[in-house]
């Protein structure tokens, strides 16, 4: 299936460095916790998958704009892919901790609000994924709109502070 002329494989290839960045931060957070860092330590607050995901969304929008990889639909798809990757990693850590009877930084009660591990996984893959995808898409589309106002793409002419697409669907 193609969206705006690009296959899923093309999107994964473009976003691959961001997926690696998120996975690296996820693993680093697990290692720091396993090394004995307290759950309230500054290191675990600095090393954040959520913040890395937000930065990744901004970088993805910049790539979409500068590579002329699509429009707002491409932003929404990229945001969903990034957030889904984050939530899958976190859910895998919670599920692993539940299955093995261990504790990791993602399975701490402070992050699951006292719910059972499988409720935590279900919430990550439904509520959190949906809410963050909507919020991230709004943020990403706003950024793309601002980028197009400041740096119109080739084939666009600026008239009276706005821009019109000439021969383009943007």
- Give the pLDDT confidence of 74-87 residue by residue, as tens digits: 999 999 999 999 99
Residue 38 domain-assigned (yes or no): yes
Other Cβ atoms closer than 10 A to 26: 23
Residue 82 domain-assigned (yes or no): yes
Residue 60 domain-assigned (yes or no): yes
pLDDT in tens, 81-109: 999 999 999 999 999 988 998 888 888 87
User: What is the DSSP pairing of strand 6-7 with strand 2-3?
Assistant: antiparallel
Residue 158 domain-assigned (yes or no): yes
Q: Say yes or no to pLDDT of 163 above 50.
A: no
Contact (Cβ atoms closer than 8 angstroms) between residue 30 and residue 22: no
Helix axes 72-100, 129-150, angle to 10 degrees: 150
| pTM of full prediction above 0.85 | no
pLDDT in tens, 118-159: 888 888 899 999 999 999 999 999 999 999 999 886 655 444
By residue range, what is the domain housing residue 91?
A: 2-165
> Sign of torsion, CA 153 157 163 165?
negative
Residue 76's pLDDT is what?
95
Q: Say yes or no to pLDDT of 165 above 60.
A: no
Residue 93 domain-assigned (yes or no): yes
Q: How confident is the model at residue 166 (pLDDT cuts 50, 70, 90)?
A: very low
Rounded CA separation 26/24 (Å): 5
Give the residue among 84, 70, 82, 87 at the shortest CA–CA distance from 7. 70
Residue 154's pLDDT is what?
63
Residue 26's pLDDT is what?
94
Total domain count, the chain: 1
Residue 170 domain-assigned (yes or no): no
pLDDT in tens, 42-72: 777 788 899 999 999 999 999 999 888 888 9
């Amino acid at each position: 299936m193609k969206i705006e002329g690009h296959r899923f494989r093309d999107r994964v290839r473009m976003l691959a460095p961001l997926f690696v960045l998120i996975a690296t931060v996820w693993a680093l957070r697990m290692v720091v916790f396993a090394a004995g860092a307290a759950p309230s330590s500054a290191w675990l607050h600095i090393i954040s998958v959520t913040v890395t995901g937000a930065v990744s969304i901004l970088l993805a929008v910049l790539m979409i704009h500068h590579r002329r990889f699509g429009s707002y639909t491409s932003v929404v798809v990229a945001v969903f892919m990034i957030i889904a990757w984050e939530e899958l990693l976190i859910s895998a850590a919670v599920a692993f901790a539940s299955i093995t009877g261990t504790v990791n930084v993602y399975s701490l009660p402070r992050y699951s609000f006292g719910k059972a591990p499988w409720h935590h996984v279900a919430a990550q893959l439904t509520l959190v994924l949906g809410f963050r995808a909507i919020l991230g898409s709004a943020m990403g589309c706003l950024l793309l709109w601002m980028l197009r106002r400041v740096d119109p793409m080739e084939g666009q002419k600026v008239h009276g502070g706005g821009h019109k697409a000439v021969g383009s669907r943007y």
